[in-house]
C-alpha cells in the first residue's frame, strides 16, 4: 500500500510538473508571439522610415546635383572671365613690353651713336690740332651767344704779327682784350692716370710747367701796349682741367695773376662775357648822353611853346566866355520884356487901369 501511494504521489508530482512546464511553455509562446508582432510592427515602421529616407535621399541627391551644376556653371563662368581678363592683361603687358623693348632699342641705338661720338671725340682730343680747333669752336659759340656782333673779332692779327683766337673790342679803358684757347689735355690725363704719389708728383710738375708756358706765351704775344688792354684771357675748354688747376696748382694761378693773364673755363668765361656786355651797354649809353641831352633840350622848347599856346587858347576861351555871358544877359532882358508885353496884351483890367499901365510901359521902354 505504501508503495502504491508512493507511486500515486509520484504521478501527481509528475502531472503537476508537466502542467507547470506546459504553462511555462504557453507563457513563453505567448511572449514570443507578442515579440513577433512587435518585431513585425517595428519592421513595417523601419520599412516606412527606410522608404522615407530613400525618398529624402533622392530629393537631396537631386538638390545636390542642381547645386553642383549651378556651382560648376558659376566656376566655369568665373574661369572664363578670369581667362578673358588674364588674356587682356597679358595682351596689355605684351604691348607694354613691346613699347619698352622699342624704347630700349632706341636707347641702345643712342648709346651706340654716343659711343661712336665719344670715340670720335677721343680721336679729336688725341690730336693737338683737332683739339685746338675744338677749343676755338667752343670759344666761338660762347662769344657769339653772349655778345653783339660788333663787339668781337675772331682770328684778329695784332700789329706784332700774332693772331688772337678772339679780340673783344672794348673802349678805353680798359681797351680791347685778347682771348686765346689752350687745352693742356696730355698733362691732365697723365696727372689723373698716375698710379702712385711719385708718378703723380712728376705728372703734376709737367702739367704745371705746361700751363705756365701757355700763360707766359699769352702775356708776351697778346698784351700789346697801346693796342690792347693790359690783360688777356686764357680759355680752358674743360671745367675739369680748370678745377684741377685752381684746386691743386695755386702757384700757376698766382703766376697768371702776376702776368695779368686771367684763366677762364666755359662757365667763368660766360660770366665774364656778360660783364663785358654790361660794360658795352654802359659805354654806349654814355656815348648817347649828348644826343639825349640835345633831344631833351628840344623837347623842353616844344613844351614851352605848347604852354604859351595853351595860355593863348585859355585867353580866347575867357573872351568867348565873357561874350557868351553878355549875350546871356541881353537874352534874359529880351525875355523879361516879352513877358511884360504879353502880360499887358492879355490883361483883363478896365480901360482906366490899362491906359496908365500902357503909358508906364511905354515910358519904361523909352527909358531903356
Confidence at residue 287, expressed as pLDDT on a 0 to 100 scale: 67
Whether residues 55 and 133 share a domain: the answer is no
Name the 3-class secondary structure at 361.
helix
Whether residues 138 and 242 share a domain: the answer is yes
CA distance 238 to 240: 5
Read off the pLDDT band of 365 (50, 70, 90).
very low
Average pLDDT over residues 184-203: 82
Does a cis peptide bond (omega within 30 degrees of 0) precede residue 121?
Answer: no
Q: Is 303 among the domain residues?
A: no
Q: Is the pLDDT of residue 118 over 50?
A: no
Whether residues 24 and 153 share a domain: the answer is no
Whether residues 132 and 281 share a domain: the answer is yes
From the centroid of its chain, how far is CA 211? 44
List pLDDT tens digits, range 9-36. Answer: 666 676 667 777 677 766 676 776 677 6
Domain that holds residue 173: 128-287
Confidence at residue 319, expressed as pLDDT on a 0 to 100 scale: 82
Q: Is the pLDDT of residue 240 over 70?
A: yes
Residue that terminates a domain, selected from 260, 287, 314: 287
Lowest mean pLDDT among 51-60, 94-103, 189-198, 271-280: 51-60
CA distance 243 to 334: 101
What average pLDDT does the structure give for the chain? 77
Residue that terminates a domain, selected from 258, 287, 316: 287
C-alpha gyration radius of the chain: 66
Q: Is 66 among the domain residues?
A: no
- Grid cell 556653371 is found at 73
Contact assessment for residue 156 and residue 168, using Cβ atoms and an 8 Å cutoff:
no
Contact assessment for residue 165 and residue 154, using Cβ atoms and an 8 Å cutoff:
yes
Whether residues 146 and 43 share a domain: the answer is no
CA distances from 309 to 12, 75, 298, 304, 323 (A): 185, 103, 17, 9, 21
Confidence at residue 33, expressed as pLDDT on a 0 to 100 scale: 65
Percentage, residues of the chain above pLDDT 70: 79
* CA quadruple 225, 227, 229, 234: dihedral sign: negative
Whether residues 178 and 271 share a domain: the answer is yes
Q: Is 13 among the domain residues?
A: yes
CA distance 170 to 143: 14
Confidence at residue 200, expressed as pLDDT on a 0 to 100 scale: 85
Whether residues 257 and 138 share a domain: the answer is yes
What residues have CB less than 8 Å from 177, skipping those under 6 apart?
167, 168, 170, 228, 229, 231, 232, 233, 276
Angle at 248 between CA 245 and CA 251, to 5 degrees: 80
Q: Where are the alpha helices (DSSP H) in the chain?
A: 2-126, 128-146, 185-192, 197-222, 239-248, 250-258, 266-287, 289-345, 351-367
Whether residues 260 and 133 share a domain: the answer is yes
Q: Is the pLDDT of residue 330 over 70?
A: yes
Confidence at residue 368, expressed as pLDDT on a 0 to 100 scale: 46
Question: Which of 63-67, 96-100, 258-262 reaches the highest mean pLDDT?
Answer: 258-262
Whether residues 275 and 153 share a domain: the answer is yes
Q: Is 276 among the domain residues?
A: yes
DSSP secondary structure string for all residues of 145-159: HHS-GGGEEEEEEPT
Confidence at residue 348, expressed as pLDDT on a 0 to 100 scale: 47
Confidence at residue 226, expressed as pLDDT on a 0 to 100 scale: 85
By residue count, the chain amounts to 368
Q: Is 352 among the domain residues?
A: no
Confidence at residue 36, expressed as pLDDT on a 0 to 100 scale: 67
> Who has greater pLDDT, 214 or 70?
214
Whether residues 132 and 262 share a domain: the answer is yes
Contact assessment for residue 240 and residue 183, using Cβ atoms and an 8 Å cutoff:
no
Identify which of 199, 175, 203 has the alpha carbon closest to the alpha carbon of residue 188.
203
From the centroid of its chain, how far is CA 306? 55
Count of domains observed in the chain: 2
Name the 3-class secondary structure at 134.
helix
Average pLDDT over residues 193-197: 81
Q: Is the pLDDT of residue 124 over 70?
A: no
Whether residues 282 and 189 share a domain: the answer is yes
Contact assessment for residue 190 and residue 203, using Cβ atoms and an 8 Å cutoff:
yes
> Who has greater pLDDT, 76 or 217?
217
Confidence at residue 232, expressed as pLDDT on a 0 to 100 scale: 92
> Who has greater pLDDT, 20 or 117?
20
Confidence at residue 346, expressed as pLDDT on a 0 to 100 scale: 61
Q: Is 113 among the domain residues?
A: no
Question: Which of 93-102, 200-209, 339-348 reaches the highest mean pLDDT?
Answer: 200-209
Q: Is 351 among the domain residues?
A: no
Residue that terminates a domain, selected from 251, 272, 287: 287
Q: Is the pLDDT of residue 260 over 60?
A: yes
What residues have CB less than 8 Å from 186, skipping those under 6 apart?
210
Whether residues 171 and 35 share a domain: the answer is no
Amino acid at each position: 500500500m505504501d508503495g502504491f501511494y508512493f507511486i500515486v504521489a509520484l504521478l501527481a508530482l509528475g502531472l503537476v510538473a508537466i502542467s507547470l512546464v506546459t504553462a511555462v511553455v504557453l507563457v513563453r509562446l505567448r511572449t514570443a508571439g507578442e515579440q513577433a508582432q512587435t518585431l513585425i510592427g517595428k519592421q513595417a515602421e523601419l520599412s516606412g522610415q527606410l522608404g522615407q529616407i530613400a525618398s529624402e535621399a533622392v530629393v537631396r541627391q537631386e538638390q545636390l546635383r542642381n547645386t553642383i551644376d549651378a556651382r560648376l556653371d558659376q566656376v566655369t563662368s568665373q574661369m572664363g572671365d578670369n581667362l578673358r581678363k588674364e588674356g587682356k592683361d597679358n595682351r596689355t603687358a605684351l604691348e607694354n613690353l613691346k613699347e619698352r623693348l622699342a624704347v630700349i632699342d632706341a636707347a641702345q641705338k643712342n648709346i651706340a651713336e654716343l659711343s661712336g661720338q665719344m670715340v670720335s671725340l677721343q680721336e679729336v682730343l688725341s690730336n693737338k690740332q683737332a683739339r685746338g680747333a675744338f677749343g676755338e669752336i667752343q670759344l666761338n659759340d660762347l662769344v657769339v651767344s653772349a655778345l653783339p656782333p660788333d663787339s668781337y673779332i675772331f682770328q684778329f692779327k695784332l700789329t706784332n704779327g700774332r693772331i688772337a683766337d678772339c679780340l673783344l673790342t672794348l673802349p678805353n679803358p680798359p681797351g680791347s682784350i685778347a682771348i686765346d684757347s689752350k687745352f693742356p689735355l696730355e698733362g691732365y690725363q697723365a696727372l689723373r692716370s698716375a698710379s702712385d704719389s711719385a708718378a703723380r708728383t712728376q705728372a703734376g710738375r709737367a702739367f704745371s710747367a705746361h700751363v705756365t708756358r701757355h700763360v707766359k706765351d699769352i702775356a708776351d704775344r697778346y698784351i700789346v701796349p697801346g693796342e690792347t688792354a693790359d690783360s688777356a684771357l686764357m680759355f680752358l675748354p674743360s671745367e675739369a682741367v680748370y678745377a684741377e688747376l685752381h684746386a691743386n696748382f695755386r702757384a700757376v694761378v698766382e703766376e697768371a695773376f702776376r702776368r695779368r693773364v686771367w684763366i677762364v673755363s666755359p662757365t667763368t668765361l660766360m660770366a665774364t662775357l656778360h660783364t663785358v656786355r654790361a660794360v658795352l651797354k654802359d659805354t654806349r649809353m654814355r656815348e648817347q648822353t649828348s644826343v639825349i641831352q640835345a633831344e631833351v633840350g628840344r623837347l623842353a622848347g616844344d613844351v614851352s611853346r605848347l604852354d604859351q599856346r595853351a595860355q593863348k587858347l585859355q585867353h580866347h576861351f575867357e573872351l568867348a566866355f565873357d561874350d557868351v555871358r553878355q549875350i546871356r544877359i541881353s537874352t534874359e532882358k529880351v525875355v523879361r520884356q516879352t513877358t511884360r508885353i504879353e502880360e499887358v496884351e492879355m490883361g483883363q483890367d478896365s480901360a482906366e487901369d490899362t491906359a496908365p499901365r500902357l503909358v508906364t510901359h511905354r515910358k519904361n521902354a523909352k527909358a531903356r
